[in-house]
Amino acid sequence: MKFCPNCAAALAQRVPPGDSALRYVCDACGSIHYQNPKLVVGCVPEWEDRILLCRRAIEPRYGYWTLPAGFMENAETTGQGAARETLEEAGAHVELITAFSMISVPSVNQVHVFYRARLLDLEFKPGVESLEVALFEETKIPWKDIAFRTVTLTLKHWFADRARGCYGFHAEDIK
């Protein structure tokens, strides 16, 4: 960040009084521009013992498989964002069940939240950000070609919970 979004003056970086972290501060208008982690929201769309995955048509991780997920937008809830991303990336209509995983990824300043979600039909089709969309049972999951560690962790929890017959909530960190 070089210039103030409020007044376009050059920004400085320093620790404001009473704060403990470096911030972008504007000496012209006095505003402090905080930068905070972004929330990525998505679904684990289920159909019996199978999960819907999308193969990415965009970077990063072009060609790798992922759960439908993306950056939360302003003015929506986490659940609305998860369902929206699932519709955009997989053309899939879902009914959310419950929040399932919350994984902090401080190395990229993100938190990933996935919901369990029931597919309402099998009319899914790839959106513009996906090459293909398909349902996978556990033994067919392309584990070596999963795009992100948060997705691998979430899928492992889902199949383990399903085998136990009891779904939990999984809060984790990827250091």
Residues forming contacts to Zn ion in the complex (CB under 5 A) are 4, 6-7, 9, 26, 28-29
DSSP assignments along 96-118, one per residue: EEEEEEEEEEGGGTEEEEEEEEE
In the complex, least distance from residue 4 CB atom to Zn ion, rounded to whole angstroms = 3
In the complex, least distance from residue 33 CB atom to Zn ion, rounded to whole angstroms = 9
- CA gap 1, 35 in Å, rounded: 10
Q: Which is nearer to Zn ion, 16 or 142 (CB)?
A: 16
Of 78, 130, 133, 136, the C-alpha closest to 102 is 78
Report CA 34 to chain centroid distance, whole Å. 22
Q: Which is nearer to Zn ion, 26 or 52 (CB)?
A: 26
- Label residue 66 exposed, middle or buried (CB < 10 Å: 0-12, 13-18, 19+): buried
Q: Which is nearer to Zn ion, 27 or 145 (CB)?
A: 27
Q: Which is nearer to Zn ion, 22 or 28 (CB)?
A: 28
SS3 94: strand
